């Protein structure tokens, strides 16, 4: 296990409601990522973090925000959920050194927006 816990693992919500997904790591890795996985689109990067309070946008960041106040936690927030945000969300972590290029993924959070 890579020491990554995502919560909640499953959530059903209604359009317009706020949703926060949490990623918790026990590895003290510097880099953390949020991806979404959709059929036909593979894995797409939403946001990532390269340190506490240091975050940046990925390729599909519209409608999402993130926060990282502690090394171990990376939060993904949907301010007002839409049906297009129904997806499986994966958190991933990566050590700064040694650099191997490998990402370690959590088990995912399945979000359904009705």
Partner 1 sequence: QQQVKQSPQSLIVQKGGISIINCAYENTAFDYFPWYQQFPGKGPALLIAIRPDVSEKKEGRFTISFNKSAKQFSLHIMDSQPGDSATYFCAAIPPNSGGSNYKLTFGKGTLLTVNP
Positions in the binding site for partner 1 (CB under 8 A): 4, 31, 40-45, 48, 50, 54, 56, 90, 92, 94, 96-97, 99, 101-108
CB of 97 to partner 1, least distance (A): 8
- Tell me whether residue 17 or residue 26 sits nearer to partner 1 (CB atom): 26
Can you tell me the distance from the alpha carbon of 69 to that of 15, in angstroms, rounded to the nearest whole number? 28
**Identity of the residue, 40 or 62, whose beta carbon is nearer to partner 1 in the bound complex:** 40
Instruction: Output the six-digit token pair for 102.
Output: 């490998």
Return the structure tokens found at 37: 């996985």
Q: How does 80-90 read in b/e, with b if 16+ C-beta sit within 10 Å? A: ebeeebbbbbb
Minimum Å gap between C-beta 26 and partner 1 is: 16
């Amino acid at each position: 296990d890579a020491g990554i816990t995502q919560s909640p693992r499953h959530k059903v919500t209604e359009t317009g409601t706020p949703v926060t997904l949490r990623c918790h790591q026990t590895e003290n890795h510097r880099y953390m990522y949020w991806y979404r996985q959709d059929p036909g689109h593979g894995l797409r990067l939403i946001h990532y973090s390269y340190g506490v309070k240091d975050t940046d946008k990925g390729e599909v960041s519209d409608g999402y925000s993130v926060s990282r106040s502690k090394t171990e936690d990376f939060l993904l927030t949907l301010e007002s959920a839409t049906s297009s945000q129904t997806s499986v969300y994966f958190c991933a972590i990566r050590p700064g050194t040694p650099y191997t290029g490998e990402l370690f993924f959590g088990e995912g959070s399945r979000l359904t927006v009705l």
